[in-house]
Amino acid sequence: MKKSDESSIEVKDRKRILVLGGGFAGITVLKRLENKFENDFTIDISMVSKDNFFLFTPMLPEVASGMIETRHIVTPVRAFCKRARFYEAAVRSIDFQKRQVTISNVTDNRNELANWHDHTLDYDYLVMSLGGETNFFGMEDVKKYSYTMKSLGDAIVLRNHVIDMLEQASIEQDRELRQSLMTFVVVGGGFAGVETVGELNALVRDAVRDFYHDIDIKDVRVVLVDAMDKILPEVSADLSKFATQKLKESGIEIILQSPVSSATMYDVKLKDGTVIATHTLVWAGGVTPEKLVKELQCEHDKSGRIIVDGYLEVKGIGDVYALGDCVSITDPHTGRPYPPTAQNAVEEAKVVANNLISAIRGGSKVSFNYKSRGIMAQIGKRKGVGILFGIKTHGLLAWMIWRAYYLTHLPTLEKKLRVSTDWFIDLFFKPDITRLKIFTENQEVQTKSFSDTVISKDETKSETT
Ligand SMILES: Cc1cc2nc3c(=O)[nH]c(=O)nc-3n(C[C@H](O)[C@H](O)[C@H](O)COP(=O)(O)OP(=O)(O)OC[C@H]3O[C@@H](n4cnc5c(N)ncnc54)[C@H](O)[C@@H]3O)c2cc1C
């Protein structure tokens, strides 16, 4: 059927597929459906996501360290939409009975906010791939005073804050205050936390060595804290040990079996009573489904993740699929839930796309039975750890494999070239310590005495967003 014939198909004869969330899972489903239904205009495909871009999260810590330019790890969702409709909007509610999703505008245009209103989308098939949000385990103070590492905005804000701390420490005469400005605490020994602490440590140490001659490198303290007894629980015990040893060798202090109990603007307290004076707490303590997902009228596990059957259909609800970080699926190979990784989200998406196409066109459904081919993490400058096809690797080789693997998985040739160029340039030049203050002309620039008022996270955020 030709494109010009699209309008001649009656709405009632169309099957409407609605994909919620433009992350690893959603984009993979979208791409597969578009390929399959490229010329079939009886199929209507729409995607809703609150950002108009797909974010390649494994490289987010490198954006925070400035190794990769901000826009090089994002791709506009519309670049994937050959004929699908895209709505940059927030999903507000999902009604499985009426087969309707309510969305609302996501806009920076505050002056006209009063004009924005909700919209309703009908569907015949629904794909829910809404990811998750940072889990603070109910600690409101930690939420208030910590930096997160989940979105592009998070990486930009953290980078600016770290450079700000370097600038403030370079003026500061009070040794104790200078040390607390130069203390950086990352909580969470999973991939996000470990990769973030590695990048942050490299940025701070390189910057002090190359540019901040007033700061004594001995005052720099980078700490990784985790409640468990080891980091990177996804890898084997000896690889985790190796990663721990390498992080320590690069100057990172590791505190294990010590959950955080509270935080203020000036310090972090651990359950065992330890208090670390710091102005930088980065929270990468895990993800949890957002409230909307937790409150859906379907089965959930105890953390609020949606329970799906082997075909990744939501139990007891017809024609609704769920996948990625917002679901809980038991791995038949380990008996434990699949960890929330991009790799699993992409593999789940292949199964969902296949089963959806089978449901529409007829064909056999497949169940999700994925055995991970490997797992890799970078742990700082030119070092990595991982298991690939059962073989353990570490050091420079693991780091090179990590880079090659993720580079091939970046969505477009343009982004691959841009990121490779960033990496290449980094081999020869000093880190870029430009701190971006984004003020409009009518905003006043405030000056403060640092010892009177410490610049807060919220102020830093408002400067950069
Ligand atoms: C710093 C960091 C490093 C990581 N490193 C690795 C790694 O090295 N390897 C690995 O395998 N995994 C890694 N991960 C984990 C990986 O990013 C996730 O497992 C993966 O993104 C899950 O895919 P998803 O599609 O389920 O969710 P996401 O990719 O999070 O996508 C969810 C999408 O839904 C949208 N959305 C959410 N709520 C709404 C709403 N209410 N309305 C509209 N849209 C909404 C979001 O904007 C987003 O586009 C890392 C994660 C982080 C944060």
Based on the domain organization, do 280 and 389 belong to the same domain? yes
Please tell me the least confidently modeled range out of 70-84, 416-430, 445-459.
445-459
**Start-end of H helices in 58-139:** 60-64
CATH number for the domain including 107? 3.50.50.60
306 within some domain:
yes
For a mutational test of ligand 1's pocket, the pick from 341, 379, 399, i.e. the residue with the most ligand atoms closer than 8 A to its C-beta, is: 341
| Contact present, 248 and 383 (Cβ < 8 Å) | no
Q: Which residue has the tokens 């809703």?
A: 48
**Start-end of H helices in 92-151:** 140-145
Asked whether residue 366 carries a pLDDT value surpassing 50, the answer given is yes
Based on the domain organization, do 8 and 106 belong to the same domain? yes
Task: Compute, in angstroms, the gap from residue 343 CA to the centroid of ligand 1.
Answer: 11
**Residue among 29, 26, 125 at smallest CA distance from 353:** 29
| Contact present, 465 and 151 (Cβ < 8 Å) | no
458 within some domain:
no
465 within some domain:
no
For residues 39 and 192, give the distance between their C-alpha atoms in angstroms, rounded to a whole number.
Answer: 40
Cβ–ligand 1 distance for 130 under 6 Å, the answer yes
Classify residue 110 as exposed, middle or buried by CB count within 10 Å of its CB (0-12, 13-18, 19+).
exposed
Q: Mind listing the pLDDT tens digit for each residue in 211-262?
A: 999 999 999 999 999 999 999 887 778 778 888 988 999 999 999 999 999 9
451 within some domain:
no
DSSP 219-274: G-EEEEE-SSSSS-TTS-HHHHHHHHHHHHHTTEEEE-S--EEEE-SSEEEETTS-
Where residue 309 falls among pLDDT bands split at 50, 70, 90? very high
For residues 185 and 225, give the distance between their C-alpha atoms in angstroms, rounded to a whole number.
Answer: 7
Based on the domain organization, do 67 and 11 belong to the same domain? yes
Q: Which residue has the tokens 């400005």?
A: 181
Asked whether residue 460 carries a pLDDT value surpassing 80, the answer given is no
Q: Cα 465 vs. chain centroid, distance in angstroms?
A: 18
Taken in order 377, 65, 418, 54, is the CA torsion positive or negative? positive
pLDDT of amino acid 454: 47
User: What number of residues does the chain have?
Assistant: 465
> How big is the CA angle at 373 (ends 426 and 389), to the nearest 5 degrees?
90
Domain closes at, from 319, 335, 361: 361
pLDDT of amino acid 391: 80
In which domain, by residue range, is 257 found?
140-285+374-428
pLDDT of amino acid 397: 87
Q: Mind listing the pLDDT tens digit for each residue in 151-170?
A: 999 999 999 999 999 999 99
pLDDT of amino acid 146: 97
455 within some domain:
no
Based on the domain organization, do 90 and 172 belong to the same domain? no
Based on the domain organization, do 163 and 230 belong to the same domain? yes
456 within some domain:
no
For a mutational test of ligand 1's pocket, the pick from 57, 134, 150, 195, i.e. the residue with the most ligand atoms closer than 8 A to its C-beta, is: 57
pLDDT of amino acid 215: 96
Q: Which helix (H) or strand (E) holds 100?
A: strand 100-105
Based on the domain organization, do 49 and 152 belong to the same domain? no
177 within some domain:
yes
Based on the domain organization, do 277 and 416 belong to the same domain? yes
CATH number for the domain including 180? 3.50.50.100
Residue located nearest, by CA, to atom 29 of ligand 1: 23
440 within some domain:
no
pLDDT of amino acid 239: 79
Task: Compute, in angstroms, the gap from residue 269 CA to the centroid of ligand 1.
Answer: 29
Domain count, the chain: 2
Q: Mind listing the pLDDT tens digit for each residue in 64-112?
A: 999 999 999 999 999 999 999 999 999 999 999 999 999 998 877 665 5
Q: Cα 168 vs. chain centroid, distance in angstroms?
A: 29
Based on the domain organization, do 379 and 276 belong to the same domain? yes
Based on the domain organization, do 163 and 90 belong to the same domain? no
Based on the domain organization, do 338 and 379 belong to the same domain? no
Domain closes at, from 336, 361, 386: 361
Q: Mind listing the pLDDT tens digit for each residue in 340-351?
A: 889 999 999 999
Q: Mind listing the pLDDT tens digit for each residue in 6-18?
A: 556 666 678 999 9
Asked whether residue 117 carries a pLDDT value surpassing 90, the answer given is no
**Residue among 67, 59, 276 at smallest CA distance from 184:** 276
pLDDT of amino acid 395: 83
Q: Which residue has the tokens 């993740």?
A: 305
Based on the domain organization, do 28 and 61 belong to the same domain? yes
Cβ–ligand 1 distance for 48 under 6 Å, the answer yes
pLDDT of amino acid 457: 47
Q: Quote the pTM value.
A: 0.91
Spell out a b/e string for 383-392, using b for 16 or more CB atoms within 10 Å of the CB, else e: bbbbbeeeee
Where residue 435 falls among pLDDT bands split at 50, 70, 90? confident
Q: Collect all residues with Cβ–Cβ distance below 8 Å to 5 and sequence separation of at least 6.
A: 41
Cβ–ligand 1 distance for 340 under 6 Å, the answer yes
Based on the domain organization, do 267 and 412 belong to the same domain? yes
* Cα end-to-end distance, the chain, whole Å: 46
**Residue among 37, 19, 39, 41 at smallest CA distance from 29:** 19
